[in-house]
Amino acid sequence: MRIVAVKEKTVPLASATRNSSIGFGAMTASAVVVESDVVRNGKPVIGVAFDSIGRYGHGGLLRERFIPRLMAAEPERYTDGNGSLDPNRAWDVLMTDEKPGGHGERCGAVGLIDAALWDLAAKLADVPLWALLGKIDGRPASAKVAVYASGGHYREADDIRLLCEDIRREIGNGHRRFKIKIGGVGVKDDVARIAAVLALLGPGMTLAVDGNGTFSRDKTVAYLDALAGLPLAWIEEPVHPLDYELHREIASLTPIPIATGENLFSRDDARNLLRYGGLRPDRDMLQYDVSLSYGIVEYRRVLADLEAHGWNRARCAPHAGHLLAAHCVGGLGLGLAEVAIEQTSLFGSLTARFAVADGIASLPEAPGVGLETALPFAQIFDGLLN
């Protein structure tokens, strides 16, 4: 197996949404296609991948470093003894002459190529990615994954009424778990939003809240006081992702589960959170983003580390509602996948075709990740496919 071309493009994700950290008006993401020399039905087998959201596209890094490095490598450097594609070996090629530490953008560029290589590997094996991952890990894997519906961004007008409409609609669509933002308004108004949503939930349904990593210590304590006693599934990223000491303090102050990790992009950083963050393996959630954190090769190292630290991988709920993360949930035995409530934007529509029943989504049956089955596939990959 030889890689004959790697193509990329930057896709605008312009969206009017804001969280308490940033606006998304100028947000972008990258799409990647890896073309192999294997021909089936008269066409080359390709791997495709689309970025996670929040860190902008990786076009410059892909063109400057990672695509040239992979294209310059002889196939024996990214295949196994049988000549089959081995994403683990390809990862080493990608990281040649990269210094240790400094995990911000290259982790997203590498993760994107890694994702396309896994899609390609699963297609070459003619199985869905979740099944390939389960086989490699030697554990039961499933196309059925527990999901939560994520949204609750703030609107300029009619905010609570529109939020409740969203939640009602998603209950009708089969969702049972929900997450909304906090921190975009004052704590009192946030409590009113939370109460309005909680009033809509039936038995077994849950609500989590998300602060997007921006709260000071005092603001967090004020929120914990105001939220005390509310039946929240978790409070997500109340404080800065790299302030482990503050995580430790917050965790000591509340029985509410804490979820964090989406802005830590490597095994090194993931491990430091476990070592220093004071998180509780019986309840807290780890949300490392697979695609933005050097991809599946690195994510499997993260899983090994967390098990060595006494954590169960069921505490993992990878950031961002994309198919790759959902395959990791189904294939690697993780806890939860994220699905966007807002499905009109390009990123939100990636999981719009998920069939959800009683909080469980069914992954596509197509070989690979099944991005081809996603609503915006043609738009995202326009110009990259032959």
Residue 17 one-letter amino acid = T
In the set 87, 241, 295, 368, which binds a second copy (CB under 8 A)? 241
CA 92/CA 38 separation, integer angstroms: 22
Spell 16-32 as b/e; 16+ CB within 10 A means b.
ebebbeeebeebbbbbb
Tell me: does residue 65 bind a second copy (CB under 8 A): yes
Cα atoms found within 13 Å of the Cα of residue 219, Cβ hemisphere only:
17
14 vs 378 by CB, closer to a second copy = 14
Tell me: does residue 305 bind a second copy (CB under 8 A): no
50 bridge partner residues: 31
- Asked if residues 57 and 11 have their Cβ atoms less than 8 Å apart, the reply is yes
Q: Among candidates 361, 325, 345, which has minimal Cα distance to 118?
A: 325
CB of 163 to a second copy, least distance (A): 23
- Asked if residues 261 and 286 have their Cβ atoms less than 8 Å apart, the reply is yes
In the set 43, 63, 144, 168, which binds a second copy (CB under 8 A)? 63
Tell me: does residue 105 bind a second copy (CB under 8 A): yes
CA 384/CA 9 separation, integer angstroms: 8
CB of 256 to a second copy, least distance (A): 21
> Both ends of the chain: CA-CA distance in Å?
19
Tell me: does residue 22 bind a second copy (CB under 8 A): yes
Question: How many residues at the interface with a second copy, by CB under 8 A?
Answer: 50
Tell me: does residue 98 bind a second copy (CB under 8 A): yes
240 vs 353 by CB, closer to a second copy = 240
Is residue 175 annotated as a catalytic residue, yes or no? no
Tell me: does residue 322 bind a second copy (CB under 8 A): no
Tell me: does residue 274 bind a second copy (CB under 8 A): no
99 vs 188 by CB, closer to a second copy = 99
Cα distances from 120 to residues 38, 84, 186, 313, in angstroms, run 10, 11, 47, 25
Tokens of 257: 């589960």
Tell me: does residue 56 bind a second copy (CB under 8 A): yes
3-state secondary structure of 7: strand
Tell me: does residue 104 bind a second copy (CB under 8 A): yes
144 vs 275 by CB, closer to a second copy = 275
Active-site option among 181, 247, 322, 327 = 181
CA 156/CA 17 separation, integer angstroms: 10
Tokens of 368: 């690979």
Question: What angle (nearest 5°) sits at the alpha carbon of residue 210, between those of residues 301 and 148?
Answer: 70
Tell me: does residue 17 bind a second copy (CB under 8 A): no
122 vs 286 by CB, closer to a second copy = 286
Site string for a second copy, 115-134 (x = CB under 8 A): --------------------
Active-site option among 58, 247, 319, 327 = 319
**DSSP H/E element including 40:** strand 28-40
Tell me: does residue 92 bind a second copy (CB under 8 A): no
Is residue 181 annotated as a catalytic residue, yes or no? yes
What angle do the packed helices 187-198 and 217-227 form, to 10 degrees?
40
Name the maximum alpha-carbon separation found in the chain: 63
Q: Among candidates 330, 369, 331, which has minimal Cα distance to 350?
A: 369
CA 201/CA 340 separation, integer angstroms: 18
- In eight-state DSSP terms, residue 326 is H
In the set 171, 198, 205, 242, which binds a second copy (CB under 8 A)? 242
CB of 55 to a second copy, least distance (A): 7
Stretch that binds a second copy, among 193-201, 209-217, 341-349, 377-385 (CB under 8 A): 209-217
Site string for a second copy, 244-273 (x = CB under 8 A): xx-----------------xxxx-xx--x-
277 vs 370 by CB, closer to a second copy = 277
Which residues are part of the catalytic machinery? 181, 319
The contact set with a second copy (CB under 8 A) reads 10, 21-28, 54-57, 59-61, 63-65, 96-107, 212-214, 240-245, 263-266, 268-269, 272, 275-276, 292
